[in-house]
Amino acid sequence: MTTGSAAPLADGPERDAGIGVAVMVDGIVREYRGEAAIEGLEGLLKEARQAHGVVWIDLSSPTKAQVERASSLLGLHPLIAEDILEGKQRAKLEATDDLIQIVLFALDDTADLRAHEIDLVVGDAFLLSSHPTEWNPRGGAHFRGELDGVMRGGPDHLLWAIFDEIVDAYFPFADRLEDTIDALQDAVMEQTDRDTLARVFGLKRQLIAVRRAVVPVREVLNQLTNRELALIDPAELLYFRDIYDHVIRLTDELDNDRELVTATLDVYLSQVNNNLSAIMKRLTGVTVIIAGVGAIAGIFGMSEAGLAFSGGEALGFWGVAVGTIAFSALAALVLHRVDWI
């Protein structure tokens, strides 16, 4: 199998490098780049349909004009183009007799754990994908070789390959979340401060971001595998059910992680309350000692203390002073034994 490109369609300015079209006809894959690939899409699509081939149109951070042009040539409903342009959707599946629109989210391993919206549209002999530049649809294992192996199965198999890559990329995030939770639980038991609390809430935000991307995928796959869709070959359902099993396992893990994070926050609050109780006990113990000393001093008076230090008072003053010190020491010892100071 060979991968080639035709000169008239391959030519295009660098700014159009985010537009890619791959067509497979008679077992041969040809790839085109740039704006000219969109303009030649109608002819490529006709050729693919006549030869039972497949066309993959990949748009990376497309402009409004590019999306509208591609949608027009592919015969997409204006609402689909609007969804692609606006973004901010939730993972979903919309299906008609001749089109399947799927919205997924790919996670970006950054400090904020960003989720990139991936729009996929399957039609007669074509698949349209639209995504941000930061995400590469060919970054996974299914696309490390030539495209003919993936595209030979048709647009539904190509959809599975992209879908599977997105879902497989969720697992490293889930594993890292579990490791972070374990480390954070140890940190909460050792020290409760603002940094630890910030880490707890940061972890909750990451978990919410992962759940927002993953949990709706379960319903998407449920519809995809249980509805009779003309564009999905029954033989491909086995592949999608495999992804469905992975998503179920992943959502179960995320539910466990959410409970662990909630429990970690509860432990943090308990630690704070315990520390506050320990501080209050110590303050109470010190107050008991000081109050006892103050009571004794108030009963016997201190107006003649100066004379006592100069030897002008009886030994009673010194007896009271020694008794007060002994009482304070005894109270401190008792309070220390009961862990109040």
- Span 52-74, pLDDT tens digits: 899 999 999 999 999 999 999 99
Instruction: Give the separation between CA 51 and CA 286, rounded to whole angstroms.
Output: 91
Instruction: Give the separation between CA 55 and CA 121, rounded to whole angstroms.
Output: 12
Cβ atoms of residues 32 and 56 within 8 Å: no
What value does the mean pLDDT take over residues 266-271?
82
pLDDT of residue 315: 63
Of 118 and 287, more confident:
118
Q: If pLDDT is split at 50, 70 and 90, which confidence band does 218 have?
A: very high
pLDDT of residue 188: 82
Instruction: Give the separation between CA 236 and CA 241, rounded to whole angstroms.
Output: 9
Question: What count of Cα atoms within 13 Å lies in the side-chain half-sphere of residue 69?
Answer: 16
Residue 13 has pLDDT above 60, yes or no: no
Q: If pLDDT is split at 50, 70 and 90, which confidence band does 322 have?
A: confident
pLDDT of residue 109: 67
Mean confidence (pLDDT) of the chain:
82
- 7-16, 56-65, 83-92, 293-302: segment of lowest average pLDDT: 7-16
pLDDT of residue 310: 56
pLDDT of residue 249: 92
Share of the chain above pLDDT 90, in %: 30
pLDDT of residue 6: 35
| Sequence-distant (≥ 6) Cβ neighbours of residue 273 within 8 angstroms | none
Other C-beta atoms lying within 10 Å of the C-beta of residue 186: 9
pLDDT of residue 306: 54
Cβ atoms of residues 104 and 163 within 8 Å: yes
pLDDT of residue 294: 75
Q: Determine the 3-state secondary structure of 92 from DSSP.
A: strand
Closest CA to 264 of 154, 272, 174: 272
Of 246 and 202, more confident:
246
pLDDT of residue 200: 86
pLDDT of residue 269: 82
Q: If pLDDT is split at 50, 70 and 90, which confidence band does 139 have?
A: confident
DSSP collapsed to 3 states, 271-330: HHHHHHHHHHHHHHHHHHHHHHHHHHHHHHCCCCHHHHHCCCCCHHHHHHHHHHHHHHHH
pLDDT of residue 110: 64
pLDDT of residue 90: 83
What value does the mean pLDDT take over residues 122-148?
88
Residue 48 has pLDDT above 60, yes or no: yes
Residue 305 has pLDDT above 60, yes or no: no
Which range among 202-211, 224-233, 288-297, 303-312 has the greatest average pLDDT?
A: 224-233
